[in-house]
Structure 1
Amino acid sequence: MAADADSRRLYVLTSDENFQETAVAVIDTGTGTEVAAVPLDDDVHFGISVSGDGRRVYIPNLYLSTVSILDTQTNAAVGSPVSMDGIPLSLAVSPDSSRVYVTLSGGEGRIAVFKAADPHSVTTITLRAGRDPAG
C-alpha cells in the first residue's frame, strides 16, 4: 500500500486468493472509508507507488511484464500499461514525479526508467553486479 504526499488517500492492492479480480482500493484516510475500487488486470502485484505530486499511482504487473498507471483524480487507468523487458518487481518515483524506476527480474540486473510524461519510451540501466534487483 502507499499513501499520497498529504496522507489524504491510501492506495491498497487487493485480490482474491487466486490473484483474480485484482484492484486498487482507494481509502479516504480522514473518514476511513473506501471511496473507489479501481480494477486491474488479473496478475500478481507486489508493489504500488504514488507520485510525489499525488497525480499518479504506479503498479507493477508481475506476469504481464507491464506497469499500470492510474490517475488519482479520476481513479482510472491512464492509457495502456507500459511494457517492460523483464519482470517488474518494485518501483520508485523520483521526488519531482518526472521519472519512474522499475526493478526488473529475469536476467542480468536491470532497472527500467521512463518519464512520467512519456511512459512508453523506456530506457534501461544495467547494474555492474548482481542479478534480479529488488527494493
Structure 2
Amino acid sequence: MMNSLFDLLLNLLRIKKGICIFFTVTLLNSLTITLKLNAFNPFDNTITGVDTNNIPITIKLDDIVSIKFSIGPCQSCKILAYVANTNDNTVSVIDTTTNSPLGSPIPVGVTPFDIAITPDGTRAYVTTLGGSSVSVIDITTNSSLGISIPVGLNPFSIAIGTIC
C-alpha cells in the first residue's frame, strides 16, 4: 500500500507539476551519486532512478551511508541572459554558466531596448524604440517569431504579469 501511494505521489509531482525528487546518496564504498527518483520498492529495499546522464540506477538501501534529497524541476534548466543590442537591432543570448554567447544574435525590430520573459519561460517580448512595436522571441529555439506587435510611440519598458 505504501509503495502505491509513494508512486502515485511521484507521478503526480512529475506529470502534473513537472517537479521531481532528487537524491544524493553516499554509498558504503564512498561513491556519491545524484539521481532523479523514479520508485521506491519496499519488497527488496531499493530505490530506482536515473543519474545525471539518464542512466537507470537501482540502489539497495543497505548500501547507503548518507542521503540528502531535494525537490526541483524535472528538466535541467539553464539560466540565460538576454541582451538588447540597440545599435544593431538584435538580441544576444548568453549562457550564464559559461558566460559565453549562445548562437548568433536574434534579429528583432528597430532599436530594441527592454526585454521581458514570460513566467513559463517560452517567450521574450522586446520593446523596439525605433519601431514603436514589441518583437517576440521563442526562447525554446532562441529565434524570432517574426511577430511585431504595434504599440504606442517609442515603447521604453515592458513588464509581464499573470492574471488569474
Structures share a fold, TM > 0.5? yes
Corresponding position of 2:85 = 14
Unaligned runs of at least 5 residues, structure 2? 1-76
Task: Output one character per residue of 1:63-93: Cα deviation in whole Å (capped at 9) or x when no partner.
Answer: 2111001000111112421011433111101
Structure-2-length-normalised TM-score: 0.47
Which structure 1 residue ranges, 4+ long, deviate > 3 Å from structure 2?
none
Number of aligned residue pairs: give it.
Answer: 87
Larger relative helix fraction:
2
Asked if residue 48 in structure 1 is aligned to residue 115 in structure 2, the reply is yes
The TM-score, its normalising length taken from structure 1, stands at: 0.56
More strand by share: 1
- Identify the match of residue 143 of structure 2 among 76, 79, 83: 76
Distance in 2 of aligned mates of 1:79 and 1:23: 13
SS of residue matched to 1:93? coil
- Equivalent residue letter for 2:83: V
Give per-residue Cα distances to partners, 1:11-58, cap 9 Å, x unaligned: 01124xxx2x221110111111111221223x2222111111111111
Give the fraction of aligned pairs with identical amino acids, expressed as a percent. 30
8 Å contact kept, 2:123–2:137: yes
- Bigger-Rg structure (1/2): 2
- Residue of structure 1 equivalent to 2:131: 64
